[in-house]
Amino acid sequence: MQTRDLTVTTGQEPSLTDLTDACRRFLADVHAADGLLTVFVPHATAGVVVVELGAGSDGDLLEALDRLLPRDDRWRHTHGSPGHGADHVLPLLVPPSVTVPVEDGRMTLGPWQSIALLDPNRDNPQRTVRLSFLAG
């Protein structure tokens, strides 16, 4: 298995960061053929999604997340910025990893799909993303 860690600056507002091009570069660099690409975020308050980016989807996703996990004082986990406890419940809805089939060196994503880092946490503006390719 071949692996690369990326450092991604997400800022101090909830965000979606497109990782698709970084994944393509990684696959090219490791001369990938057929296999599996795993994108993993080793953080308790961020996740990875396959989603359409642009065309309003980004904002819709972030607004839906705010409705499902409001940033208020209901959370038992209370350190950090107001509502930070919601960030620790994120894995209930958004996993820390995705695995995408790779055929002939290319991810088999649909035409409107992108791989994105979802980071609602205002307290951690930098994230590590681990890309791993397992040849098949």
pLDDT in tens, 52-81: 998 899 999 999 999 999 988 888 887 878
Residue 119: CB atoms within 10 A of its CB come to: 27
What's the sign of the alpha-carbon dihedral 32, 36, 42, 47? positive
pTM metric for this prediction:
0.93
pLDDT of 51: 96
- The side-by-side arrangement of strands in the sheet containing 35-40 is 2-9, 126-135, 35-40, 97-103, 106-107
Which domains, ranges and CATH numbers included, belong to the chain? 2-135 (2.60.120.460)
Candidates 24, 50, 9, 34; CA nearest to 102 is: 34
Q: Which helix (H) or strand (E) holds 48?
A: strand 47-51
pLDDT of 24: 98
